[in-house]
C-alpha cells in the first residue's frame, strides 16, 4: 500500500478478520465430527430457525417446516460466500493496488468488488489487476481461498443430503417392523416365542442406527430436516424402537424375550443416537 491512511489500514484489518472468521466457521461446521457448527453458522441458523418455528405455529401448517432444512443449508453456504467476498473486497480496497490493466487508473469501489468476485470464483477476465507485486500474491491467496471454500461447501451439501437420505432409510427400516412399539412386539411374537427373523432384523438395524448417530454429530443441520410423512421421520421411529426395546427388556419374562446379544448392542446404539441428538448444539424450538 502506498500512502496508507488509517482508514486503509482499518479496511485491510477488518477484511482480514472477516475472511479469518469465515474460514474458521466453515472448517468447524464442515470438518468437525463432534463440535457441531461454527459460532457464526450456529447463531445465524438459530435465529432463522426460530423465525420459521414461529411462522409454523402461527399458520399451523404441518408441511411448512419440511423445506426449511434445505433453505437453511443453502443459506449457510451463501453466507460463507458473501462474507468471504466482502472480506477480501475490504482487504483489496484498503490496499489501493487494484488498477485498470490498460490505463493503470485506480479502481473504484464497485470495480474492486467486481475484481474480488472474479478473483475468488473464476479465472479472471484481466481487465483489472493488482499493481503492486506483493498484492498480486495476495490475490493468488484470495483465489485459492475462494476455491477452497466453494469446494468445501459443495462437499458439505452433498454429505448432508446423503445423511438425510440415510436417516429416512433408517425410519423406513424401523417402520417395517411396525408403526408403534406395541405393534413391533406383537408382530414379532409367533405364538410361543419371538421369531428368529425378528432377532436378525434387530441386529440388521444396528449399523444404520450407529451411523445415523455419528451423522448427527458430524452434521447438526440434520435437526432441521423434517418430513410430513411419519414413516420417513427418523426421530419418531427411533423413539418407537427404543420403546419397543424397553418393553422387550422389562415387560417380557427373561426366558421368553429375544436373545440379549440382539437387544443389548441395539440398545447401546440407540442410547448413542439419543445422546448425539441432544448434544448437537443447534437450537430445536419445536
What is the per-residue pLDDT across 198-240, written as a single tens digit (0 to 9) for each?
989 999 999 999 998 888 878 878 888 877 787 888 888 998 9
252 inside domain:
yes
284 inside domain:
no
Q: Which of 102, 124, 153 lies at the terminal end of a domain, its last residue?
A: 153
174 is in which domain, residue-wise?
A: 162-278
Among 134, 139, 137, CA closest to 124? 139
285 inside domain:
no
What is the per-residue pLDDT across 248-267, written as a single tens digit (0 to 9) for each?
988 888 888 888 888 899 99
283 inside domain:
no
Same domain, 103 and 227: no
What is the per-residue pLDDT across 100-159, written as a single tens digit (0 to 9) for each?
888 888 888 999 999 999 888 876 666 888 888 888 889 889 999 999 999 999 999 999
Same domain, 106 and 34: yes
| CA atoms in the 13 A half-sphere facing the CB of 164 | 18
Same domain, 106 and 172: no
- The answer to whether 131 and 154 have CB atoms below 8 angstroms apart is no
45 inside domain:
yes
286 inside domain:
no
The structural domain count of the chain equals 2
Same domain, 79 and 109: yes
Q: Which of 101, 130, 153 lies at the terminal end of a domain, its last residue?
A: 153
pTM: 0.80
Amino acid at each position: 500500500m502506498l500512502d496508507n491512511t488509517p482508514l486503509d489500514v482499518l479496511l485491510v484489518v477488518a477484511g482480514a478478520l472477516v475472511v479469518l472468521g469465515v474460514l474458521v466457521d466453515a472448517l468447524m461446521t464442515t470438518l468437525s465430527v463432534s463440535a457441531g457448527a461454527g459460532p457464526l453458522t450456529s447463531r445465524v441458523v438459530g435465529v432463522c430457525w426460530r423465525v420459521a418455528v414461529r411462522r409454523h405455529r402461527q399458520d399451523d401448517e404441518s408441511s411448512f417446516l419440511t423445506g426449511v432444512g434445505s433453505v437453511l443449508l443453502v443459506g449457510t453456504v451463501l453466507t460463507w460466500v458473501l462474507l468471504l467476498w466482502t472480506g477480501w473486497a475490504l482487504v483489496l480496497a484498503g490496499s489501493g493496488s487494484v488498477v485498470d490493466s490498460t490505463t493503470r487508473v485506480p479502481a473504484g469501489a464497485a470495480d474492486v468488488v467486481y475484481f474480488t468476485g472474479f478473483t475468488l470464483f473464476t479465472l479472471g477476465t484481466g481487465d483489472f489487476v493488482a499493481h503492486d507485486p506483493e498484492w498480486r500474491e495476495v490475490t493468488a491467496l484470495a483465489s485459492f481461498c475462494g476455491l477452497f471454500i466453494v469446494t468445501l461447501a459443495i462437499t458439505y451439501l452433498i454429505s448432508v443430503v446423503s445423511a438425510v437420505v440415510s436417516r429416512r432409510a433408517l425410519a423406513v427400516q424401523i417402520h417395517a417392523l411396525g408403526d408403534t412399539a406395541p405393534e413391533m412386539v406383537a408382530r414379532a411374537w409367533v405364538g410361543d416365542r419371538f421369531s428368529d427373523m425378528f432377532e436378525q432384523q434387530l441386529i440388521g438395524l444396528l449399523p444404520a442406527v450407529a451411523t445415523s448417530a455419528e451423522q448427527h454429530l458430524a452434521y447438526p443441520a440434520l435437526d432441521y430436516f423434517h418430513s410430513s410423512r411419519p414413516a420417513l421421520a427418523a426421530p419418531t421411529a427411533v423413539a418407537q424402537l427404543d420403546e419397543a426395546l424397553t418393553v422387550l427388556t422389562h415387560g417380557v419374562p427373561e426366558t421368553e424375550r429375544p436373545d440379549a446379544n440382539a437387544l443389548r448392542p441395539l440398545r447401546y446404539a440407540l442410547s448413542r443416537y439419543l445422546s448425539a441428538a441432544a448434544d448437537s448444539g443447534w437450537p430445536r424450538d419445536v
